[in-house]
Structure 1
Amino acid sequence: MLKLFEYNWQVRQDWFDWCRDVPEEELLKKRTGGVGGILHTLFHIIDVEYSWICGLEGKPEFKEPFDAYASLKQVMDLSAEFHKEVRPFTAAWTEDMEQKVLTDTWPNGEKVSFKYGEIMRHVIAHEIHHIGQLSVWSRELGKVPVTANFIRRGLF
């Protein structure tokens, strides 16, 4: 499981590097699909990862709006800050945690329960899904997207 998180973190960093050569108005521009635009999607990825892991650790989730972090530097800083808390949890993952259950109440009042292993895999797949959207938007800008290859990343 940790290797897939490490993969996502590397790809995320590659997208941050990619963003450095894109004008801010393009990073903030609303686009079709996803949660808005390039920077908002990166913020969303970070928010979802951190909020779910906080839920698994019994901590309050992050509830700040994107508008409070609407620059590349702010999103990168937020990612680095949250990574300090997320990484130790993912690194300490054990088989015993797979079947633990998180029970919560959605904002609409619905009670939900998910196994920890299911949540961890959801977080991984969620980021990969949105990275695909970034790749499409990259091509729309005439830029080469970040590679999604797992191999040749030095993870093994």
Structure 2
Amino acid sequence: MMYTTLLHQYQLVLSARGALLNYCETIRPEHLAQPIPSFNNDSMGSLMRHVANTYLGWLLNFLQQEQRPYFTEDNHKNLQAIRSMFEQVNLVANDFLLHHKDDMTTPLSLPREGEEALSITPLQLFTHTITHEFHHKGQLAIMSRQLGYIPVDTDVIRD
């Protein structure tokens, strides 16, 4: 039951992300790559790469102890590359949910280099990654506004 609920929740995330990516089609490619001083000179593309890498880091590399290379600057040079990056993220998220579908609430002990192990549930990790994405989605709207665009509604519930 929780597995099905989380799959539905991720579909809502995909819908909101799709609205953001469709909006990004209206943004000039050079603006997607433009460093923005008020955001530590990150660009919209590099922030989207950070979001994608967070999914890889928590749901794949950290939790399942697989070591998949993180996305690099080449993965956010244009919107097609960004979309491709998130298609890979979707596979990771779906695999994660399937892998933990029978038990999302038992804490796992996750080793951390030079620190005490972290005790966290798969549900907490999944929730962290999607709320992290939504946090940065808001920042992406602000970044685009600073570049002269008028952001569209990219929330889960929108007109």
TM-score normalised to structure 1 length: 0.79
CA-CA distance at 1:16 after TM superposition: 1.8
Between the aligned partners of 2:133 and 2:13, the Cα distance in structure 1 is 7
Between the aligned partners of 2:42 and 2:9, the Cα distance in structure 1 is 25
Among residues 122, 126, 149, which one is paired with 2:155 in the alignment? 149
* 2:103 aligned partner: 96
Among residues 90, 110, 115, which one is paired with 1:83 in the alignment? 90
Among residues 10, 14, 37, which one is paired with 1:5 in the alignment? 10
Among residues 38, 63, 69, which one is paired with 1:62 in the alignment? 69
Between the aligned partners of 1:104 and 1:150, the Cα distance in structure 2 is 34
Percent identity, aligned pairs only? Answer: 21
Change (3 A) 1:34 1:124: farther
* 1:18 aligned partner: 23
Q: Partner of 1:96: helix, strand, or coil?
A: coil
- Structure 1: stretches of 5+ with no match in the other structure: none
Q: What letter corresponds to residue 89 of structure 1 in structure 2?
A: F
CA-CA distance at 1:101 after TM superposition: 0.9
Q: RMSD in angstroms over aligned alpha carbons?
A: 2.5
* 1:73 aligned partner: 80
CA-CA distance at 1:27 after TM superposition: 0.5
Q: What letter corresponds to residue 82 of structure 1 in structure 2?
A: V
- Structure 2: stretches of 5+ with no match in the other structure: 1-5
Conservation of the 8 A alpha-carbon contact between 1:53 and 1:86? yes
Superposition map of 1:46-61 within 5 A: 46-54=52-60, 55-61=62-68
* 2:3 aligned partner: none
Between the aligned partners of 2:27 and 2:149, the Cα distance in structure 1 is 9
Higher mean C-alpha deviation, range 37-46 or range 2-11:
2-11
